[in-house]
A = this chain, B = another copy of it.
């Protein structure tokens, strides 16, 4: 199946000598190890044609068939775990424990999306009489080839493999992935494994392919064959995709992320040391490169949360960021936050932090690669106004703490934040009088509220909602994790007066796929 792969790994060389390649860097040292050539326009065009041919074949397969494909991918990932973790470590610097965990979760999630497809609710199948001899049947069909633009920060979770790829395949769509330039060699290897697994499992040629390079990505966005786009990354990148694809009406499911807030009630603040430890652990996880990173914590004044956070930070290790660009962005972001915090009148407890941010803003020693230190800033409630630099996401291990005098005012400030993917609320338990009100207010702002839990854990499950109102995502009805992820890649069709020959097997009278169906208006389950 190597013909569906766009790239081969070239030996290490000077990237300046080959502008048509993605160089591979080790974030731990900054050293380059090889590069991967960009996919040519002709090759992208051939990949698109194959994907379109595959689309109608895949659309005719049963969900259980595609479940088999996804299981085969997961098996291959598990078989090659050590090799993949090593390669990912060389290109992300994320550390073996994190990468083993992410790969294991990815394999489990891939199997889960197969189970969601096989369960069949996503098909939205139903049939009914509509008067006289007329009938109407409805179900969801796959959109067609999907382009996936993966993220730098989850080499296994969101990209060449992971949630977008598995949910699109589960829904019956061929997938073409644009490799993230942060891990080109890993991308090529993963794509080989996925292509081989799909071929062995019987998926048609064209079900899956990888392309490399910015221009190849643009070609996907503009291609008539591409029917939907999934993106995980920055607001700038996501918005540019949304705008470009809008011209031909192609949906872009961009999970961009903003600042995720944490609210600590008065009752919960008693255990400030535990909250501070959890907060630092959460916002420095993966070197703070999570779209679910808690970026702004509201806690009652007088509980000493910010001091406790600073104490925790003294023990927090430095860690390499994913790319030189992210490291530069982080240092610039710290400078901006320090200036904004200082301008906002923070001459007190946080000035030391602001100073250290300034001191940190030089480029790192090359031997340290892209390593940075975690940081926290104290901010005032009244400075969290629309347009403030304090409210922009800063990718990396930095967060803000706001110590409020008045919970209601703090909640009002929360509603001035951009909507976000997730918020955490720490309460004193079910009897905490603030609990229900805070959650109710936050639900209007976010996709998920985590009660007495940190936002960085995202379970792949039936009820997960990993999304949120614009501009946290481009589509508030969508989720990129959990069973609902398949819904992004289908659309409903109805056929009036259909014979069985016009319908998927799931709507045949004997329900061979054993899926939930709405018959004459009544939701019915398959006999168990």
Interface on A for B, CB 8 Å cutoff? 56, 119, 121, 124, 126-128, 130-131, 134, 136-138, 141, 143-144, 242-243, 246, 248-251, 430, 435-436, 439-440, 443-444, 446-453, 459, 461-465, 467, 469-471, 474-477, 479, 482, 484, 487, 490-499, 501-502, 516, 518, 521, 523, 525
Contact = CB atoms under 8 A, between A and B. Distances in A.
A119 B448 CA distance: 25
Contacts of A479: 492
Q: What is the total number of copies of this protein in its complex?
A: 2
Contacts of A248: 470
B443 A141 contact: yes
Given A479-B492, A499-B435, A134 B525 contact: no
Nearest to A459: B130
A25 to B, nearest CB: 34
Contact of A459 (B136, B450, B476): B136
Nearest to A127: B463
A324 B103 CA distance: 65
A235 B56 CA distance: 29
Contacts of A447: 491-494
Contacts of A493: 443, 446-449, 465
A64 B471 CA distance: 33
**Which of A248, A501, A518 has the most CB atoms of chain B within a 10 A radius of its CB?**
A501
B492 A439 contact: no
A334 to B, nearest CB: 28
A130 B461 contact: yes
Nearest to A445: B493
A499 B430 contact: yes
A134 B457 CA distance: 11
A462 B128 contact: yes
Contacts of A461: 128, 130, 136, 521
